[in-house]
Amino acid sequence: MDRFVIDGGRPLRGTIRISGAKNAALPILIATLLTDEPCLLENVPTKLRDIRLTIRVLEAIGKCVDVSGSRVFVHADKPLKTRAPYDLVKQMRASVLVAGPLLARFGWVRVPIPGGCAIGVRPIDIHIKGFEDLGARRVLEQGDLILDSPLRPGRVRFKFPSVGATENLMMAAAAVAGTTVIVNAAREPEIEDLGSFLAAMGARVSGAGTSTVTIRGSRTLRGAKHSVIPDRIETGTYMLAAAATQGSLRLAGAEPAHLKALIAKMRAAGAAVREGRGRIAVSMKGRPRPVSVVTAPHPGFPTDLQAPWMAWMSLAQGSSRIREEVFENRFMHAAELSRMGARIALSGETASVHGVPGLSGAPIMASDLRAGAALLVAALAAPGRTTVQRVYHIDRGYERIEAKLRAAGARIRRVRR
């Protein structure tokens, strides 16, 4: 298991180029299962572990995938299977997204039910209820979910705007002739991007990115070309790292419209944030003012930036509160930040963060992807040496992170096991 060794306390300066969004590339890659024709995807963060795993899932189902830089060419040379292998699904929950396209095309699919993970139980009941609303029957066998019977178009109403369930149902609806309406859909930018790809494949999609998505599907979808949106969570993480190190960074290829909640909160805390076309610049002097946040589905404050936000607020001139409303167990980073001198008290879904003048380097461990990102933000800001263990979590979602940070002046190196 690799680890990062960071000598912190140095301001980040310069320009970092943002990669394509992992959480958009992932469902879009899976949506290629909707056609036998070739698809070309650009701006895919192909170095990420989760994207590599998604490609393996596609290959296990029968697609051929050629990767060249950030371009991915997906085609098929044999009939597709309607099963996803457990050893891949258990490594990446989002593999369950293959259920929608395969069920819609072939009327039968078998996927292992993903287990819980470090940030909560994470059931898939909203996905399943959506498929049932479109006529699927379900059977549970040996920990696998089997869905069968042909889908029909219809109306699906979610009890919560789940990102994954919205994507799964959109992909299914795209391959079912007739009009399907998804009510209380997730509104994340990644949903909008998937909607654009499905439209390029020949589905009629309206309302993607709003709470009601309408899809007029077609039994035969065509191959398409698409360029993935920039990663707003990667962007937000570097914005917070720039602020926490009292530096000045430009994020090239970023999309400010996707980060309104973070930008507003960072300005309230005292950071200077400039928005341009395809770029964001952040600079910060001194410690932030304490600013409280509550996570919520988009356009609220993203749960994926809650942990890096906590790292910055650990250094505030006063106390703030962070309420996690999306996942039930997403404060694993608090104890690790405390090892670096942060003062954080947890009570249920609320963290009270009492700012300290400075953090100090320590050996720490990443428990999940965004917790790992928070520890990096803290380590970059903290004078002294920090060793971050279990870097594989960070590698799931941040492409070439040490190279990008080094180019901005950070002292960070990867030690291979």
Q: Which residues have a catalytic role annotated?
A: 117
The stretch near ligand UD1 (CB under 6 A) out of 149-157, 161-169, 222-230, 360-368 is 161-169
The stretch near ligand UD1 (CB under 6 A) out of 60-68, 123-131, 236-244, 345-353 is 123-131
Beta bridge partners of 8: 384
Considering beta carbons, is residue 23 or 43 the nearer one to ligand UD1? 23
Report the alpha-carbon distance of residue 388 to residue 386 in Å, rounded.
Answer: 6
Candidates 43, 54, 162, 306: give the one binding ligand UD1 (CB under 6 A): 162
Considering beta carbons, is residue 245 or 395 the nearer one to ligand UD1? 395
CB 216 within 8 A of CB 191: no
Q: Does 327 bind ligand UD1 (CB under 6 A)?
A: yes
Candidates 69, 120, 318, 383: give the one binding ligand UD1 (CB under 6 A): 120
The stretch near ligand UD1 (CB under 6 A) out of 6-14, 39-47, 103-111, 125-133 is 125-133
Size, binding site for ligand UD1 by CB under 6 A: 20
Considering beta carbons, is residue 24 or 410 the nearer one to ligand UD1? 24
Q: Does 124 bind ligand UD1 (CB under 6 A)?
A: yes
Chain center to CA of 298: 12
For 214-259, the DSSP string reads: EEEE-SS----EEEPPB-HHHHHHHHHHHHHTT-EEEEET--GGGG
Considering beta carbons, is residue 294 or 407 the nearer one to ligand UD1? 294
Report the alpha-carbon distance of residue 297 to residue 74 in Å, rounded.
Answer: 31
Q: Does 122 bind ligand UD1 (CB under 6 A)?
A: yes
Report the alpha-carbon distance of residue 253 to residue 34 in Å, rounded.
Answer: 29
Considering beta carbons, is residue 214 or 295 the nearer one to ligand UD1? 295
Q: Does 262 bind ligand UD1 (CB under 6 A)?
A: no
Report the alpha-carbon distance of residue 162 to residue 191 in Å, rounded.
Answer: 11
CB 186 within 8 A of CB 219: no
Q: Does 364 bind ligand UD1 (CB under 6 A)?
A: no
Q: Does 258 bind ligand UD1 (CB under 6 A)?
A: no
Report the alpha-carbon distance of residue 393 to residue 390 in Å, rounded.
Answer: 6
Question: 144-148 and 108-112 as β-strands: parallel, antiparallel, unpaired?
Answer: antiparallel
Strand-by-strand arrangement of the 13-17 sheet:
13-17, 248-252, 279-283, 272-276
CB 55 within 8 A of CB 22: no
Q: 389: how many CB neighbours lie within 10 A of its CB? A: 17
Q: Does 23 bind ligand UD1 (CB under 6 A)?
A: yes
Q: Does 383 bind ligand UD1 (CB under 6 A)?
A: no
Smallest distance from the beta carbon of 91 to ligand UD1, in angstroms?
13
Candidates 70, 82, 184, 303: give the one binding ligand UD1 (CB under 6 A): 303
Q: Does 125 bind ligand UD1 (CB under 6 A)?
A: yes
Considering beta carbons, is residue 96 or 315 the nearer one to ligand UD1? 96
Burial of 79 (0-12, 13-18, 19+ CB in 10 A): exposed
Interacting residues with ligand UD1 (CB under 6 A): 23, 26, 94, 120, 122-127, 160, 162-165, 186, 303-304, 326-327
